[in-house]
Amino acid sequence: MPKLKNIKRILVANRGEIAVRAIRSIRELGGESVAIYSEGDKNSIHKDLADISICIGEAPPSKSYLNIPAILSAIEITGADAVYPGYGFLAENPNFAAICQKSNVEFIGPAPEVLEIVGDKAKAREAAIRAGVPVIPGSPPVETLKEALTVAKQIGYPVLIKAAAGGGGRGMRIAHTEQELTRLLPVAQREAEANFGDPRVYIEKYILNPKHIEIQILADKHGNVVHLGERECSIQRRHQKLLEESPSVFLTEEIRKKMGKAAVKFAKEVGYTGVGTVEFIVDKDRNFYFIEMNGRIQVEHPVTEITTGIDIVSWQLRIADGQKLPFSQEDIKQQYYTIEFRINSEDPDKGFQPNVGTIEKLYLPGGYGVRVDTHIYGGYQIPPYYDSLLGKIIVFGKTREEAIERGKRALKETLIEGVKTTRDFHLKILEDEDFLNGTHTTTLVDEKYLS
């Protein structure tokens, strides 16, 4: 494995399991890691694993992990020459990327102008159209109810109101009638403003009972772009993912190739470099439509790492270092069936309500075909300020059936006492007939387990 040559000391501008993951890869590549942490994370494991650690502020994200001046000070104090943003927080913030660029600090992600495009759903949609990638019938951002009603009448109900700057399933509302659109449009605009600081929304046709399929992209600084196949993310609640798998049993080989080529075309159209994911929805007839591109590492990246045998985080660092991809599209194969279970500190019996507290007892699974990415330990007190993700259990097998059985075994081995988690919910999904048949869609959890 070639070592890092141009970036040596990397500040990890994140926390939790992704910070741990990044620190491990930095060490393997011969670099030094700098962990930042908030006062709320003073007992977090990532600060102890890093070569250098520095507290940057109080527990609330606005005073720490989202505090750009504090992070820039940490970069200067520690002499870091690169920043690894992970996911969430500042990972897709073009302003932060631009400041790093001006400060001669390598932002490990796409260029600021690319983040401007992929972080704006309306601009990304326009880029997809230019690239010849299928998009859902819809509109540019609408400002008035009259505009929204006109678009909805043209494309037909139901329609989806989406925040132009949205992500993570937030800022979305479904309207089945003109009356619902009239009522929900201002609600969506207010939610977009509150969550993203941008009230713009746009309207698109709502595809009933779709599959959610995403394509992993690697793009180096030398013009090479490849995809690493798909992940199916149809098991989700309220548009937020819970379980991901690869390959998708729903796709034919022909559709898989078409989606991969479309994702590469989009990445080339926007001048993408680094690691990213192009997301699609797929209807019952296997027609696929572009949704968005995430300009960052995904929570579910281990699924693709195991399925293809390619270390995505390592390549994220190596691409930033200026290294060239040594493989072509033809070299990439799907070797295993892989499933990832997000273990969140949430109570599924109460609508996945976040649940914080102290982990009184912990046992994590192991054995062949099982990987665990986490930052928790026995006695760890879960802070109430951040995402509910405690870790990910990833299993693989030569067949989907083998991966499912291994998943059941791994989940049953998992013991987390002191807080409610999604462990038992995943066991339910692994017994669900629709999931086992591969006929499940993004509505399964909401309709069967939350209605």
User: Alpha-carbon distance 422 to 243, whole Å?
Assistant: 11
Distances (CA, A) of 72 to 39, 62, 66, 207, 234: 18, 14, 11, 43, 38
Contact by Cβ (8 Å): 7, 34 = no
Cβ within 8 Å of residue 333, ≥6 positions away: 308
Q: What token pair was written down for 179?
A: 């009356």
Label the pairing between strands 201-205 and 138-142. antiparallel
Sheet of 370-374: strand order equals: 288-294, 274-282, 211-219, 225-237, 240-246, 337-344, 389-397, 370-374
User: Alpha-carbon distance 150 to 7, whole Å?
Assistant: 52
Distances (CA, A) of 444 to 287, 337, 368, 380, 447: 20, 21, 30, 33, 5
Q: Measuring CA to CA, which residue among 6, 2, 62 is closest to residue 28?
A: 2
- Burial of residue 157 (number of CB atoms within 10 Å: 0-12, 13-18, 19+): middle
Contact by Cβ (8 Å): 112, 275 = no
User: Alpha-carbon distance 404 to 396, whole Å?
Assistant: 8
**Which string of DSSP letters, residue by residue, matches 206-220?**
PPSS-EEEEEEEEE-
Q: Measuring CA to CA, which residue among 139, 123, 291, 127 is closest to residue 207?
A: 291
Show which residues are catalytic: 296
